[in-house]
Amino acid sequence: MIMRNEKLAEFLKPGKRVHMVGIGGVSMRPLALVLHDRGITVTGSDMNSSGSTEELIRSGIPVAIGHREENILGADCIVRTAAARNDNPEIAAARAAGIPIFERAQAWGVIMREYRNAVCVSGTHGKTTTTSMVTHILMAAKADPTVMIGGALPLLGAGHRVGNGDTIVLESCEYCDSFLNFYPSLAIILNVEADHLDYFKDLADVEKSFRAFAGLATSGVLANGDDRNTMDTLKGMDFVTFGLGEQNRIRAVNISEDWSEFDVLCDGQRYTHLKLSVYGRHNTLNALAAAGAAWMLGIDGEAVAEGLATFTGAGRRMEKKGTFNGAPVYDDYAHHPGELSCLIDAVRTQGYKRVVVAFQPHTYTRTHALREDFIEQLKRVDVCVVAEIYAAREQNLIGISSRDLVEKIPGATYCETLPEVTEFLKANVREGDIVLTVGAGDIYRAGEALVK
């Protein structure tokens, strides 16, 4: 792995041309923009046109829609998303032509080695929010960080930032073991659950990957001491814990009823007082992780309070889209039962008469593997409409449909298309409701259409 990263470093220099397969992805897009800002000629391709590809084109990066052999002409190397397999026409053509092929995560690994502090935020849930929170803190501390987030952050007006400081913060995903290509100085583990079961065999396999990731950290590991799976994963290793339990070195105390305000103790001493604009137990834990990272980096507690006071959420994380019939309409990226549970818990504290959820499952394998857990969570809402599964990188070889969920959820409605979801919401939403469009695909379009 190290040798391949050393080889890739030769290509990530001004004057070289890098072609990126799947350039519109949440981690590929900011990588392309960072490489472009460094003076590297970047081209790319993606299966579909999107807001991401349009942003890249506006930034001066040519993007071809559709994967074709001719797209790679002139490239010195290829960087691909994890979803681009060897039978992809561009990957096959590059292999035949002897053009070196690297993974997206390897490119981020090369970049982060140039920084004294590399803060890598991992976990099954909460990565984007926590990475965004750390970014807010670093900006308040005037650390001038470089940033890679898997979603848009209003503070940056983007999902990335190229800074001149000595710190880089990156959202770090376990899928296909991609974060094992990273070089973290500080590794953060928010939680560990069974997910991405199209790649991992089971929870034990996921835990093995996170343990290997923790082993890469050169300065420290910060982990959720309240999460049993995380503690099992790191058993026998040295790490700092955060959480609500008294056993944690970094704790939240004096917590408000809506979880938005609390004191942070580090090794029993008051470090800072936080007043958040986001709600729910999960966001208290995310903020604790961000504050803990700042403490381990030597950042003053006042900068932590200042940075987190201005954090209002990342894109597609309880992002308000507008109102309809007097009901607020929000969009959230939750696509795992654990994330759904946290989302519903947080919304229940807000006092709405009904919670209306339009859910779009993400990938066939995840829906199949976690079907019963999805059903249990969706039973908790007052009005549930389920769109057909968003395929993403997969083909439906299992023969599963969202109908299989709806059949087990009393009162739920199935919609094959997003316009049908919008029409359902239009006919059923009333004042006193809160409307949530939920999922990692394009379900947000249904909510946006409703608001319009």
Residue 40 φ then ψ, to 5°? -90, 140
Same domain, 154 and 275: yes
Expressed as residue numbers, the domain containing 33 is 2-103
Q: Are 330 and 320 in contact (CB under 8 A)?
A: yes
Same domain, 219 and 296: yes
Q: Where is the domain boundary, 286, 309, 332? A: 309
Residue 110 lies in a domain: no
Residue 406 φ then ψ, to 5°? -60, -35
CATH number at residue 231: 3.40.1190.10
0.75 cut: is pTM over it?
yes
Q: Would you give the end-to-end CA distance of the chain in angstroms?
A: 49
Q: Tens of pLDDT along the chain (452 residues)?
A: 444 577 999 999 999 999 999 999 878 988 998 899 889 999 999 998 988 899 899 999 999 999 999 999 999 999 999 788 899 999 999 999 999 999 999 999 999 998 999 999 999 999 999 999 999 999 999 999 999 998 889 999 888 888 999 999 999 999 889 899 999 999 999 999 999 999 999 999 999 999 999 999 999 999 999 999 999 999 999 999 999 999 999 999 999 998 999 999 999 999 999 999 998 999 999 999 999 999 999 999 999 999 999 999 888 889 999 999 999 999 999 999 999 999 999 999 899 999 999 999 999 999 999 999 999 999 999 999 999 999 988 899 999 999 999 999 999 999 999 999 999 999 999 999 999 999 999 999 999 999 99
Taking the C-alpha atoms of residue 212 and residue 216, their distance in angstroms, rounded to an integer, is: 7
Same domain, 11 and 52: yes
CATH number at residue 23: 3.40.50.720
Same domain, 332 and 423: yes
Q: Where is the domain boundary, 39, 73, 103? A: 103
Contacts of 342 (CB under 8 A, 6+ apart): 125, 280, 281, 282, 334
Token output for 178: 């991609």
Same domain, 280 and 324: no
Domain count, the chain: 3
Same domain, 278 and 166: yes
Same domain, 184 and 229: yes
Taking the C-alpha atoms of residue 75 and residue 62, their distance in angstroms, rounded to an integer, is: 13
Taking the C-alpha atoms of residue 79 and residue 61, their distance in angstroms, rounded to an integer, is: 15
